[in-house]
């Protein structure tokens, strides 16, 4: 059974339809059962009254011989399948259309036909001693058996169409509701992945409950988008406001460094201050760049980018640094040509540079770092894989946050914004970012769509 069908079978409309169908079936069964029992009892009362009336007619016979003649006359025109007449006279002679006998298995009715075949069926009988003999009158219950069959047919013919109609209607409503739920689920997935512009939109024709949920989702998305935009604006404003004072401090410290009056200890402290200031400038520059990327403005510069050539260039640039650190940096040239993707070459270059620098800075000597490209039917994958310790699984979501650093990375170069920039650039390119364990190491993989929307 497919996942979609299993979801439909567990959906609320189908469950409600099944519950209503069960309730209707129980009520119908109880109603028909009550009608059947009442009608059956009425038939049985009528048969008992007929038996009593028949017996009263035979009691009017003045003698055993007259009774035997009357029974014999009635028996000739009566079908034993309908009415059984059996009279044993005082002399033991039998009169009637059938013999009622008894053995170890119970009572049996044997006809007067050759071979005395047994008469089948159910009977309601009345036996009495009369004129020195024994008279038995039995009436068949075939009418009640037919009545039972009639009620069973009524039950089937009334419930079966109802079951089909109710379940079909419930399935149709479930499919319709499942489509609407899928739309809401898709929007929530997009919001969760960072696309705060995702909306459910027009809900014309939706049920009231799902329409209200969709409206609340859109309201939540708008509120979240406004909040995030405000936070980003505050971050950008702070960076802009502090950029100029920090640059002035840098100029003053640089002027001070030109002085010949500084002695060794003072000059060492000044150099440390300049180094720290460079780190601060780098953080503010990254924050401003991240705000610009998240605004979506780089899309205006999108053009086809050859990732193979870009990877080769960056690999050549960073190979000397890797050699100095006693590490190995290689580019695994793909066997098949990798198609270009649509994006900003400078930003994609920065993505690759950040990933390479992370691998160089946070892995020990002897680490092998590999840049890899691969393509599928609908995607292109860019991966940077190393044989270092990697990132603990519990912290993989955290390292994508701004300014977050692992404990072991606090003594290494960086400001905690490298992977945030990578995630922001990936998002503006419609790519997905994966941090994953690979055989013998750790890898960061970006999956870019091969087909992109027209550039606007």
Q: What pLDDT, in 10s, does the model give residues 323-346?
A: 998 889 999 888 788 899 888 888
Q: What is the largest CA-CA distance in the chain?
A: 159
Q: Which helix (H) or strand (E) holds 305?
A: strand 303-305
Radius of gyration of the chain (CA): 47
- The residue among 317 and 270 whose pLDDT is bigger is 317
Residue 246: name the closest of 218, 282, 272 by CA: 282
Mean pLDDT of the chain: 77
Q: Of 193-207, 274-288, 356-370, which has the strongest mean pLDDT?
A: 356-370
Better pLDDT: 281 or 216 = 216
Task: Read off the pLDDT of each residue in 366-377 and give the average, rounded to a whole number.
Answer: 88
pLDDT digits (tens, 9 = 90+) for 175-206: 777 777 778 888 888 777 667 778 888 888 78
Q: Which residue has the higher pLDDT, 147 or 287?
A: 147
| Per-residue burial over 172-192, b = 16 or more CB atoms within 10 Å of its CB, e = otherwise | ebbebbbebbebbeebeeebe
Beta carbons within 10 angstroms of residue 348's beta carbon: 23
- The residues near 268 (Cβ < 8 Å, ≥ 6 apart) are none
Contact between 419 and 406 under an 8 Å Cβ cutoff? The reply is: no
* Those residues with Cβ within 8 angstroms of residue 137's Cβ, 6 or more apart along the chain or in another chain: 51, 54, 55, 58, 83, 84, 85, 125, 126, 127
What is the DSSP pairing of strand 368-375 with strand 328-332? parallel
The CB-based long-range contact list for 250-257 (8 Å cut-off, 24+ gap) reads 250/274, 250/277, 250/278, 250/281, 253/277
Question: Is it the case that residue 133 has pLDDT exceeding 70?
Answer: yes
Which residue's structure tokens are 């193979």? 308
- pTM assigned to the model: 0.45
Q: How far apart are CA 17 and CA 22, in angstroms?
A: 9
| Eight-class DSSP state of 206 | -
Q: Quick one: DSSP state of residue 118?
A: B
pLDDT tens, residue by residue, 393-436: 666 565 565 544 444 444 445 445 567 778 888 888 888 888 88
Q: Name all contacts of 77-80 with Cβ < 8 Å and 24+ positions apart.
A: 80/109, 80/111, 80/119
Residue of higher predicted confidence among 295 and 155: 155
Identify which of 62-66, 232-236, 251-255, 257-261 has the greatest average pLDDT. 62-66
What domains sit in the chain, N to C, each tagged with a CATH number?
40-144 (no CATH), 208-293 (1.10.287.130), 299-449 (3.30.565.10)
Q: Which tokens is 42 given?
A: 């009425």
Q: For residue 172, what are its two tokens? A: 């149709």
Is a pLDDT exceeding 50 seen at residue 156?
yes
Q: How many residues does the chain have?
A: 456
What share of the chain in percent tops pLDDT 90?
2
Tokens of 243: 């950029």
How far apart, in Å, are the Cα atoms of 407 and each of 411, 416, 424?
A: 9, 11, 23
Q: Is-contact 78 85, C-beta < 8 A?
A: yes
Q: What are residue 372's DSSP bridge partners?
A: 332, 383
């Amino acid at each position: 059974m497919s996942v979609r069908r299993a979801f439909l079978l567990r959906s609320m409309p189908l469950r409600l339809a099944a519950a209503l169908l069960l309730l209707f079936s129980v009520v119908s069964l109880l109603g028909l059962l009550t009608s059947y029992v009442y009608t059956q009892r009425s038939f049985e009362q009528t048969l008992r009254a007929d038996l009593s009336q028949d017996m009263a007619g035979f009691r009017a016979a003045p003698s055993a011989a007259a009774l035997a003649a009357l029974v014999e006359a009635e028996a000739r025109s009566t079908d034993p399948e309908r009415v059984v007449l059996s009279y044993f006279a005082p002399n033991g002679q039998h009169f009637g259309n059938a013999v009622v006998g008894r053995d170890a298995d119970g009572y049996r009715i044997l006809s007067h036909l050759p071979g005395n075949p047994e008469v089948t069926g159910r009977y309601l009988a009345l036996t009495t001693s009369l004129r020195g003999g024994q008279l038995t009158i039995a009436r068949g219950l075939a009418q009640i058996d037919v009545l039972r069959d009639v009620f069973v047919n009524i039950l089937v013919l009334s419930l079966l169409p109802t079951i089909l109609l109710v379940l079909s209607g419930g399935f149709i409503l479930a499919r319709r509701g499942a489509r609407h739920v899928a739309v809401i689920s898709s929007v929530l997935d997009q919001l969760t992945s960072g696309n705060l512009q995702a909306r459910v939109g027009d809900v014309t024709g939706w049920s009231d409950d799902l329409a209200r949920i969709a409206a609340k989702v859109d309201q939540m998305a708008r509120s979240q988008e406004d909040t995030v935009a405000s936070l980003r604006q505050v971050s950008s404003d702070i960076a802009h406001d502090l950029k100029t004072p920090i640059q002035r401090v840098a100029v003053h410290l640089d002027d001070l460094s030109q002085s010949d009056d500084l002695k060794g200890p003072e000059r060492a402290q000044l150099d440390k201050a300049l180094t720290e200031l460079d780190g601060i400038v780098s953080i503010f520059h990254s924050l401003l760049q991240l705000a610009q990327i998240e605004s979506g403005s780089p899309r205006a510069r999108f053009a086809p980018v050859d990732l193979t050539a870009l990877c080769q260039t960056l690999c050549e640039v960073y190979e000397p640094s890797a050699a100095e650190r006693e590490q190995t940096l290689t580019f695994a040239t793909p066997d098949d040509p990798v198609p270009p993707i649509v994006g900003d070459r400078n930003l994609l270059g920065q993505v690759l540079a950040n990933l390479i620098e992370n691998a160089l800075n946070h892995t020990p000597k002897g680490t092998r770092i590999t840049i890899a490209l691969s393509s599928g039917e609908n995607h292109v994958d860019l991966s940077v894989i190393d044989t270092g310790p990697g990132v603990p699984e519990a912290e993989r979501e955290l390292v994508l946050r701004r300014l977050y650093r692992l404990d072991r990375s606090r003594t290494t170069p960086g400001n905690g914004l490298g992977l945030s920039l990578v995630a922001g650039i990936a998002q503006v390119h419609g790519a997905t970012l994966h941090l994953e364990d690979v055989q013998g190491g750790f890898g960061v993989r970006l999956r870019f769509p091969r087909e992109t929307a027209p550039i606007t």
